[in-house]
Structure 1
Amino acid sequence: MISINPFTEISAFIPAIVMQVYVVAMFLLVIGATLFDVVHKKSAKYFFNNSVKAKKSATRNVGSSEKASIAFKTATNEVLTSSEFCSTRRRLAHLLTMYGFLIFVTATVVMIFLYPATSSITPSVWPLAWHLGAAMLAVGGYWFWFFIRVDVAAEGNKWYKVMRADLFVLSLLAMSTFALIWSFFQSNGVVVWQTLFFGLFIGSSTVLFGGVLWSKFAHMFYKPAAAFQKRVTKADGSRENLPEPADLPEQFGLGIKREAPHHY
């Protein structure tokens, strides 16, 4: 199962070009919807206004080399290692989900575009990465949803109470879960069930990438920008006169209502 490229197997029924067009369409949906989200919710304007306020309140100038260093620290700490999470469990769940998603999507793109036909031989590393990424995504997502979901502690909601902001994590979980089940039935030659779960996999993927305007998907792009701005304002001395970059107004779509931090 984990050594088989599932997209090569299904290419006998679905032409490779169809799968490739689908991937490109999902990519364009994410880019287009994110840009629309930035304009519609005025997120870029918010960051720009905060930057202007910071410059007026700054006590020292931050040069380009220092900003490059800050950008590197932001990438390695807040982005790559999620050091802003005070809870170890929350941080691990986030990292599992994030890296699982990146591995899964990368392997999907490689297998669909480089090894799409039944006659092509896919290096075993890519099917292995695809299944590993889906498993990491599922483990991290389910761990978060059932055990450390933020709004359970902050607002008293149960795991089964779904809100619009939950569309992102639920579609992630559905995509990874259906992908693994589809691969399992495909490797065992169960045609009816593999067809069903392939359809569910495509459906959940479409909801994930096509639902950017109604989910927290765009949060992935805002978060590094907010973290970078936070570090810059701290470096130039204006931090104490500005609101926390993470405390963006709710209309900017950065998720659920802010509450006092909880330690798990």
Structure 2
Amino acid sequence: MITTNPFAENVLNIPSYAIQGFLILMVVFTIGGVILDMMHKKNVKFFFQNAKKMKLAATNSVSTGEKVSIVVKTLAHDVATSAEFCGVTRRITHLLGMYGTIIFWVASAVMIFNTSTTSTIYPMLWHIGAIMTCVGGYWFWFIQRVDVRAEGNSWSRIVFADLFVLSLVGTSTLGLLWSYFQSANSIGFATLFFVMFIISNVILFGGVYWSKFAHMFYKPGAAIQKHLAEADGSR
């Protein structure tokens, strides 16, 4: 199971070009959703306006080399290690979900576009990435949703902002179930979970505009802007 490319021998015998087209469509959905989100919330406009204000308020001159260094350090520390989360367990769940998702998506793309020549390492990474995403996602959802509990709401309360996490975990879970039943030659269950896997991907990437997906791009930008402001004295 773990060393087999599930896309190459999918239970519905969908040709590779169709799956590749589906992947490209999901990328288009993602880009379109992020653009619409930026237009609606005007985050980019806010960043540029804030950058102008900080430039006027700056008391120190920061060279280009220093700025590049700050950007690299921010990405390596704040983003790569989820440093904004103070709690250790909260950081672990976020890192599991983040890196698990990256591994899962990259391995998916490689396997989909190289169905006949995929190395066994990519199916292994695909399954490991999915498991990491599930562990991080379920850990967060069932144990760490202290924000909604503090407000007197149940952990099961779902709003649009939760769409990204739920569809992400759902996609990984359904992918694992599809792969398992497909490798076990259980055609009925394999078909069921494969169809649900496709639907969950449509919800995940088609729902970018309503979810927190675009938030992943804003947070690094805000962190970089914060450290640049601290360096030039405008903060």
TM-score (norm 2): 0.97
1:162 equivalent in structure 2: 158
1:1-264 equivalences in 2 (<5 Å): 1-10=1-10, 13-115=13-115, 120-239=116-235
Deviation at 1:156, TM superposition (A): 2.8
Deviation at 1:84, TM superposition (A): 1.5
* RMSD over equivalenced CA pairs, Å: 1.2
Deviation at 1:151, TM superposition (A): 2.4
Deviation at 1:173, TM superposition (A): 1.0
Query: Which deviations, in whole Å up to 9, do the C-alpha atoms of 1:75-120 show, x marking residues without a partner?
Result: 10111111111000000000000000000000000000012xxxx2
Structure 1 Cα separation of the partners of residues 208 and 8 of structure 2: 29
Deviation at 1:154, TM superposition (A): 4.2
Deviation at 1:172, TM superposition (A): 0.7
Shift of the 149–190 alpha-carbon distance from structure 1 to 2, 3 Å rule, reads same
Query: Which deviations, in whole Å up to 9, do the C-alpha atoms of 1:149-203 show, x marking residues without a partner?
Result: 2523542322111111000100011101100111110010000110000011111
Once the two structures are overlaid, the 10-residue window that deviates more, 150-159 or 132-141, is 150-159
Shift of the 58–153 alpha-carbon distance from structure 1 to 2, 3 Å rule, reads farther
The answer as to whether partners of 2:149 and 2:155 remain within 8 angstroms in 1 is no
The answer as to whether partners of 2:163 and 2:212 remain within 8 angstroms in 1 is yes
Q: Percent identity?
A: 53
Equivalenced residue count is 235
3-state secondary structure, aligned to 1:213: coil
**AA partner of residue 219 (structure 1):** H
Shift of the 82–108 alpha-carbon distance from structure 1 to 2, 3 Å rule, reads same
